[in-house]
Structure 1
Amino acid sequence: MTIFSAHNITTHYGKTTILQDVSLPELKQDQMLGLLGPNASGKSTLMRCLTGEKSYQGRVLLDGADRADIERDVWHQRVATMPQSPPNPTALMPTELMWSTARALDLDFSDTELGNRIEDIFDRLGLDAFALSPLHTLSGGKRQLVGLALALMRDPDVLLLDEPTSALDLHWRMVVLDLVRERLAKRGGVAIAALHDLDLAARYCDQIVLLESGKIIAAGTPHDVLTPDNLARVYHVETTVSVDAFGRPLVQVIRPIHQ
């Protein structure tokens, strides 16, 4: 059964069209979709449309129901977002932020369940040593991990992650995406992540959408999308694409293509 889909998404900033008739592959249980494209391709704008932060024409469906017909509280119980910007560097501690957010969302967990959940997520994301440190003392990467912890705490059906690894080194990028995939395998649901790293997208995503100037250039499996022709068109680089030991596409960038 399809859990999440988006059809014919079009949106503007003023008179400028940012996204034009964008439709995403339908996502079924345990699937992860990666949004790829260069800067200003429309990835973050599309994520803001999916989360409801930006108005759009088109349809966003959850279990076949249009977002416009779903009660706000129900939507926020089932869909969690991780924005591109990490939590603000305030005097609040990560533990305080988690508890206050849980109470504001009226999550249906006992104090014991919520405490255990927060402790487990912090442990997995390497945040346990920073749980009582004010956010303003943490690096951007650590605050980004706190942002992911806030989304995971809710145990949603849909995770919408805007550049979840942008401030992280390679180790923590893989830890984050391993945790998302593990969560999908154990709990079910789907995830959509805007990403920059082609190899991480090939490694973790079941489906990929490649955007350029607010339009879809290619959509499908990593093998369908990560081709030398597509990458030359969108990123203006010459590449070779081989297959790694696990059968996944492996992109090697050779040189820039002068425009």
Structure 2
Amino acid sequence: MSAPLHIQGLGAGYRDRAILQGLDLAPLPAGQVVSLVGPNGAGKSTLLRAVAGLIPASGSARLGDVELNALSIGERARHVAYMPQTLPQDVALTVLETVIAALEASPLDGPPRGAAEAAMAVLERVGAAELAGRRLDRLSGGQRQIAALAQAMARQPRVLLLDEPTSALDLRHQLEVLTLARDYARERAAVVVMVLHDLQAAARASDHVVVLAQGRLRVEGPPAQAITPQVLADVWRVRARVEPCARGQLQVMVDAVL
């Protein structure tokens, strides 16, 4: 069952430091990819962690009629999966074992296959079948990101949260991950929310872009409305040109620091 994600009056932070304060977003529809962009410290990762239930949050994060903030971590894990920026480097389990663990942590009423077979199917989907037998602590940063994506997708969540999923990847794998995110949203009628720093990638891969600065919403909407020279000047303090290429994709060219 597909349902939009509603963020209303959301507040979150760390210890005595508030990062997000009363954040309201337009409903994020199922079947779409949403990119969170903004300067360092804008609250992008904090927003993902709050929706995932990894840090205390006030206000409402609601998936359809389900108030996520009222659920236990285990209950929320049946709806939401979070991919961190990096996986721990000291985990001696194989990639296959970590994906199986993700499946078993949140059992699904899904296809009657064994956990190992289901885990291998996900690894094949993300192009990482050759990593199945390798230990996580012996992978490169980019390989660990792909393994983390497999863990998150394995649970077939209705909300998939990706924190800088392309930061350690080369160009080909960046495109593959963004394509996987878009396909997952469409095929599963899921809400995919990802943090990106590359504005061109955000424009290319997203249906909706949310620009945050200092824990507050600055602008949101389709890429062409949210990524403009004026927004780059106001939020990032740079002079830039935003122009469509021959194929209609937005290109961002930064000329100077303001």
Q: TM-score, normalised by structure 1?
A: 0.91
> 1:67 maps to what in 2?
68
Deviation digits for residues 47-69 of structure 1 (CA, Å, limit 9, x no counterpart): 11111111122110011332234
- The aligned counterpart of 2:79 is 78
Measure, in 2, the Cα distance between the counterparts of 1:37 and 1:205: 15
- Cα deviation for residue 216 of structure 1 reads 1.1
Distance, in Å, in 2 between the alignment partners of 1:199 and 1:153 is 28
SS in 1 for 2:219: strand
Q: What does residue 90 of structure 1 align with?
A: 91
TM norm structure 2: 0.91
Compare 242-251 and 110-119 and name the one that shifted more.
110-119
Counterpart-to-counterpart distance in 1, 2:36 and 2:95: 28
Structure 2 residue ranges without an equivalent (≥5): none
Match of 1:127 in 2: 128
Closer/same/farther in 2, CA of residues 87 and 147 from structure 1, 3 Å limit:
farther
In the alignment, does 2:241 pair up with 1:240? Answer: yes
CA contact (8 A) 2:242 2:252 kept: yes
Q: Distance in 2 between matches of 1:123 and 1:87?
A: 22
Unaligned residue ranges in structure 1 (runs of 5+): none
Give the Cα–Cα distance (whole angstroms) in 2 for the partners of residues 92 and 69 of structure 1: 33
Deviates more, 1:200-209 or 1:114-123: 114-123
Amino acid at match of 1:247: G
Does structure 2 retain, via aligned residues, the 8 Å contact 1:4–1:62? yes
What corresponds to 2:14 in structure 1? 13
For residues 40 and 49 of structure 2, the distance between their equivalents in structure 1, rounded to whole angstroms, comes to 15
2:39 aligned with 1:38, yes or no? yes
- Letter aligned with residue 193 of structure 1: M
Corresponding letter in the other structure for 1:187:
R
1:218-229 equivalences under 5 Å are 218-229=219-230
Q: Deviations for 1:109-139, whole angstroms, at most 9, x for unmatched residues?
A: 5673644443333224332222111111110
Number of residue-to-residue matches in the alignment: 257
Q: Distance in 2 between matches of 1:161 and 1:180?
A: 9
- 1:252 aligns to 2:253 (yes or no): yes
> What is the aligned partner in structure 2 of residue 101 from structure 1?
102
Which residue number in structure 1 is paired with residue 182 of structure 2? 181
Given that 1:239 and 1:252 are in contact with CA atoms closer than 8 Å, whether structure 2 keeps it comes out as yes
Spell out structure 1 runs of 4+ moving beyond 6 A: none
What residue is the counterpart of 1:154 in the other structure?
155
SS of the equivalent of 1:27 reads coil
RMSD of aligned C-alpha atoms?
2.0
Cα gap change, 1:236/1:88 in structure 2, threshold over 3 Å: closer, same or farther?
A: same
| CA shift in 2, pair 1:131/1:220, >3 Å | same
On the 8 A contact 2:5/2:30 being kept in 1, the answer is no
For 2:187 and 2:102, the matched residues in 1 are separated by: 24
- CA drift of 1:93 comes to 0.5
Helix, strand or coil for the counterpart of 2:187? Answer: helix
Distance 1:107 1:138, change over 3 A: same
